[in-house]
Amino acid sequence: MTVTEVRFGRLERRGLLLGLTGAQVGLVGVALVTVVAAGVAAGPAGILLGAPVWAAALAWALVPVGGRPLVEVLPTVAGWATRRLTRSHRDLAAPDAAAVPETLDLPGLPSRLHVTADDHGAAMLRCGRGPGAPVTLVAEVCGRGFLLESSAAQDRRVAAWGRLLGSLCQLPDVVGAQVLHRAIPAAGQEIRQWWSGQVSPQSPWAERIVADLVEDTRTDTRLQLLVAVAVRPRRADLIAARTALSESFDAAELDLVSWLTPGQIAALVRTAYDPASATRPLASSGAQIGRSRPMGVAEQWSHARSDSAFHATYWVSEWPRAATHASFLRPLLFGAGVQRTFTLLARPLPPGKSLREIRRARAEQVADASTRARVGRVEEEAHRAAAAELTRREEDLIAGHGDLRFTGLLAVSAPMLDELAEACASIETAAAQAGCELRRLVGQQVQAYAVASLPLGRGLW
């Protein structure tokens, strides 16, 4: 009996010299030049007087904040401070303003989102009006079971899903793909409507028991799985692309529920920013695109607030480092009591570009190893693991597999701030059980939430 296992490489950290980025090397160089110039000009006293300059440069280059050096955190902090000073961290809708058909102006997106329908009624999402702006097609799918299947069936479905992802690398028109797993509140209206037609006055005792069970569906959650694929419209036939994707879903043993319509996209946007609307009777009937934007969004350093909820978005900074079962994300995806949206972004890289990047990274590793040997630094196990990961990637490419850049985002929502804190603690515990490391994105919560909660097929701008 085989056991389905997956293995992830470490987060790639490339640098210009000894693991330092170009900005860090530049700041270290400024510090050294300052020390040498001050020493030549005034001796030890000059070095001491110039301490504020060279010490600040070294601090910006080497002091870590949240696992990143200060110089890399600076753009995020500067953007956040600018939005605070200009009061653009709050976005309020104008209810009396005329809605623009098929257009959404959402906080966190660099340009307006245009949602149109093709000849078959399926939605086409485009961020921006430029002729080269990618078009995103969104499909709702459901699996055929995994956790309770035999090991052979699990192996077959994991391999089929891998072939689906690998096929994206072979299509030159595909810009990116997104898998979005939502756990949203459900009103249970369908169940209650069905039960109202089944009530029989001849069995009042059984009726009361079932009525209690049906009433519990008011606090139930509904799981939804979406797959969004962004393609270049000038080179791709969108109808043919949708047909090919439908066939790929079937080959990956995924059932295609439907291609989302503009009305369903509007309802998805509304429930993302106003989760309480999901329990209203008319929430599933769709809405006009121009009227589905949030009434207000306020950005804080570590969270964001929209119509009826607070949100916190995490980045999956590390996947499991040891070989693990393919269902390792189960604690994150199916944990009870937390409203969350998990997004997996995949950006395909052409094989030629991937091989060039691998060879450039290998040359950097060889140069760093030579530098470490000259300065007497011992080679760490992390350096050997990075070299082994490059070798594995190159072997996979030569064997005909595709190369994908993955980004994992997790958005957590709650109606109150204290409930959000409890939900975040629960999610962090679930991530530890899954073998993943989460980092809370700060200073960019509105942008991150838009990418994590909406099926745009694109990463952070």
pLDDT digits (tens, 9 = 90+) for 304-332: 999 889 999 999 988 888 788 888 888 88
d(CA 119, CA 294): 29
User: pLDDT per residue over 242-291, tens digit each?
Assistant: 888 888 888 888 889 999 999 899 889 998 999 887 766 544 445 577 77
Is residue 73 within 8 A of residue 61, CB to CB? The reply is no
pTM for the model stands at 0.82
In this structure, of 221-225, 273-277, 360-364, the range with the lowest mean pLDDT score is 360-364
Residue 232's pLDDT band (boundaries 50, 70, 90)? Answer: confident
Distances (CA, A) of 410 to 13, 239, 340, 443: 22, 31, 7, 16
Among 148-162, 253-267, 287-301, the range of highest mean pLDDT: 253-267
The residue-averaged pLDDT of 37-46 equals: 82
| pLDDT at position 63 | 78
The residue-averaged pLDDT of 354-364 equals: 79
User: pLDDT per residue over 325-356, tens digit each?
Assistant: 888 888 888 877 788 999 999 888 877 777 78
| pLDDT at position 359 | 80
d(CA 185, CA 221): 4
d(CA 157, CA 160): 5
User: pLDDT per residue over 409-426, tens digit each?
Assistant: 999 999 999 999 999 999
Strand partners, 259: 139
Q: Residue 430 pLDDT > 60, yes or no?
A: yes
| pLDDT at position 4 | 63
Q: Residue 47 pLDDT > 60, yes or no?
A: yes
The residue-averaged pLDDT of 176-183 equals: 90
Among 171, 188, 147, 183, CA closest to 4: 147
| One-letter amino acid of 439 | R
What are residue 110's phi and psi, to 5 degrees? Answer: -70, -20
Is residue 312 within 8 A of residue 420, CB to CB? The reply is yes
d(CA 195, CA 210): 9
Among 200, 222, 221, CA closest to 211: 200
Strand partners, 349: 403
